[in-house]
Structure 1
Amino acid sequence: MLVEKLQEIAEAKWFTNFITFVIILAGVVVGMETYPSVVEAYETELHILNEIILWIFVAEVVVKMGAEGSKPWNYFKDPWNVFDFFIVAVCFVPGAGSYAVILRLVRLLRVLKLLSALPRLQLLVGALLKSLPSMGYVTILLGLLFYVYAVAAVFIFGANDPMHFETLHLATLSLFRVVTLEDWTDVMYINMYGCDEYGYDGVEHLCTDPNAMPVVASAFFVSFVLLGTMVILNLFIGVIMNGMEEATMEQEEFDERERMKKQGITEPEHTVEHELFELDQALEELHKKVAVISRRVRAEHDGPPATDGAVDPAE
């Protein structure tokens, strides 16, 4: 009886909405603690609120574990439940209360519970996780592009623009600035017009070997922006969108299975033998339809049988 009541509470819409509200409230409280004047004026009230929020989250864990009945460890089969449990457990780590900054950072983790409270956010996170393997290959491709262009930039622009391309690591950082389109034209103009003409005001002592390269610099930076920003970074978007579609399909299948489970509909076993049997049944039905259509076509083609002028004896 108790287990059924806990299951009813855990699956209730009002319970989910209440937990979502508490998570948002926890985020607001943490935000208020960033203002020293507010903390000084309402320190006791904020402390009480934090304690109430913490014990509400503990009650949520207890309700969900109790809803599993005699197998409370099933609670940890859901990664989101593990995530929630970790956030709550961290708040009880010994010694966290003696450091105000650590305690506030721990409280800040409660805001992340919003990820597990909203199914759509779970879907987005799932899509990102599914995209990680493919994103890894895109990252390797982007890394190769950065490395090739960074080495070339040191050789070509290192003497003229030591502030951005004197060393390989500095060139890589400068190209990261370029690929994010943060004032990338300034970097290009320095190498188009020479460091003695553009960009080195106040640091003229660094400009020891000015060399204007208008054609080379414009071709170099425009091609890098096109490849790095317009092409490769768009691959990340494509990979994430593909992961989003897969995650959406899996979520729809999961929701359908849950619906069938609640309605008491048993899910058919999709074994190889079962699929072969269904295929054989479909082929048999197809053969029957083909035979019927063939007889109909022959009948229409041959027309009514000829009588050769014979009279029906019944007449």
Structure 2
Amino acid sequence: MNIQQVQDSFFKLRSNRVFEFFVVGVIIFSALVIGAKTYDIPDYMLTLISWLDSGITLFFLVEITIRFIGEPNKKAFFKNPWNIFDTLIVVVSLIPIQDSEMALIGRLIRIFRVLRMVSIVPELRLLLNSLLKALPQLGYVILLMFIIFYIYAAIGASFFAAINEDLWGDISIAMLTLFRVMTFEDWTDVMYETMAVYPLSWMFYLTFIFLTTFAFLNMVIGIVVNVMENEHAQEEKERAIAEGDLTIEDLSKQIEELKQMIKDQKS
């Protein structure tokens, strides 16, 4: 068997759905092993878990090797950030640091192995990529939300500090209190306490909740959903082009639609 045949065999193996599901199962089992270490268990169980952890690390090494050998373009393998992430996690997990000062970092690296689920499952990759691409738009929404928080916190600290110093003593504490109000964590107790002195203070809380919880959070959800739809549409186009199901005319038309969509978002 020559090198090309080995590469083709490994490419088929890494593209096999059964193999992908098996890798996902090992990742889930790895997460369970990490969780088991947090319990007070006998020494023999700790020894067994240690052997299982070593076996999982060895399996991940074999799996990343199969993916690398099965990659037709070896240079393109490390152009993918997820492949770099997986490789770093596996390589660092191989370093024997259990009894050294770096043991804590070693345990943290093994915890991050659960994130390999994102690199394996395409739907999770799409979700995370959409969140990352939505960050520039979300940044302005978060900035505007911070301004609203700051204004309301300044008002609350000015009027309600004398009522409850623990909740409204200064602007930073007031912002934490407002976060509690936004998440509906016993916010009525805070409101009724100030209403005993300022009967109309309910307007302060209701307007804040409508602006933050109902308005801004829905804006955040809308932005993320919109970016996810665009990412999904782009992925479908690329798949159609790769499979030859998309004609040049269809491609040109969809590119124009995409340009118009981007122009509308900017405006």
Task: Assess, with a 3 A threshold, how the Cα gap between structure 1 residues 47 and 247 changes in structure 2: closer, same or farther.
Answer: same
Tell me the equivalent position of 2:53.
Answer: 50
Q: Which structure is higher in RCO with an 8 Å CA cutoff and minimum separation 6?
A: 2
- Would you say 1:253 and 2:212 are equivalent positions? no
Name the amino acid aligned to 2:55. Answer: I
Tell me the equivalent position of 1:4.
Answer: 8
Please, which of 213, 227, 250 is the counterpart of residue 198 of structure 2? 213
Q: CA deviation at 1:77?
A: 1.9
Measure, in 2, the Cα distance between the counterparts of 1:76 and 1:267.
31
Please, which of 91, 94, 111 is the counterpart of residue 92 of structure 1? 94
Matches within 5 A, 1:2-41: 2-38=6-42, 40-41=43-44
What does the per-residue CA deviation read over 1:190-232, in whole Å, with 9 as the maximum and x for residues that have no partner? Answer: 1111xxxxxxxxxxxxxxxxxx1111x1111111111111111
Aligned-residue identity in percent: 34
Q: Secondary structure at the match of 2:64?
A: helix
Measure, in 2, the Cα distance between the counterparts of 1:271 and 1:45.
56
Task: Assess, with a 3 A threshold, how the Cα gap between structure 1 residues 82 and 268 changes in structure 2: closer, same or farther.
Answer: farther
Tell me the equivalent position of 1:223.
Answer: 207
Measure, in 2, the Cα distance between the counterparts of 1:82 and 1:266.
32
Gap regions ≥5 residues in structure 1:
194-211, 276-315
Please, which of 181, 184, 201 is the counterpart of residue 181 of structure 1? 184
- Would you say 1:172 and 2:156 are equivalent positions? no
Q: CA deviation at 1:235?
A: 0.9
RMSD, matched Cα:
2.4
Contact 2:57 2:94 in 1 (8 A): no
Measure, in 1, the Cα distance between the counterparts of 2:45 and 2:118.
29
Tell me the equivalent position of 2:124.
Answer: 121
Task: Assess, with a 3 A threshold, how the Cα gap between structure 1 residues 52 and 95 changes in structure 2: closer, same or farther.
Answer: closer
What does the per-residue CA deviation read over 1:46-75, in whole Å, with 9 as the maximum and x for residues that have no partner? Answer: 122111111111111111111235x42321
Tell me the equivalent position of 1:244.
Answer: 228
Matches within 5 A, 1:78-89: 78-89=80-91
Q: CA deviation at 1:145?
A: 0.3
TM-score by length of 1: 0.72
Q: CA deviation at 1:139?
A: 0.1
Q: CA deviation at 1:266?
A: 9.9
Contact 1:142 1:232 in 2 (8 A): yes
Gap regions ≥5 residues in structure 2:
256-267
Measure, in 1, the Cα distance between the counterparts of 2:212 and 2:251.
47
Please, which of 148, 161, 164 is the counterpart of residue 164 of structure 2? 161
What does the per-residue CA deviation read over 1:73-128, in whole Å, with 9 as the maximum and x for residues that have no partner? Answer: 32112222122112212213464552554333221111111111111111111221
Tell me the equivalent position of 2:106.
Answer: 103
Measure, in 2, the Cα distance between the counterparts of 1:101 and 1:79.
25
Measure, in 2, the Cα distance between the counterparts of 1:225 and 1:270.
46
Contact 2:240 2:246 in 1 (8 A): no
TM-score by length of 2: 0.85
Contact 1:96 1:102 in 2 (8 A): no
Q: CA deviation at 1:176?
A: 1.1
Measure, in 1, the Cα distance between the counterparts of 2:22 and 2:99.
27
Task: Assess, with a 3 A threshold, how the Cα gap between structure 1 residues 149 and 123 changes in structure 2: closer, same or farther.
Answer: same
Contact 1:65 1:73 in 2 (8 A): no
Contact 1:128 1:240 in 2 (8 A): yes
Moved more, 90-99 or 161-170: 90-99
Contact 1:97 1:103 in 2 (8 A): no
Q: Secondary structure at the match of 1:91?
A: helix
Which of the two has higher C-alpha Rg? Answer: 1
Task: Assess, with a 3 A threshold, how the Cα gap between structure 1 residues 257 and 81 changes in structure 2: closer, same or farther.
Answer: farther
Q: CA deviation at 1:267?
A: 7.6
Identify, as 1 or 2, the structure richer in helix. Answer: 2
- Would you say 1:233 and 2:217 are equivalent positions? yes
Name the amino acid aligned to 2:236. Answer: E
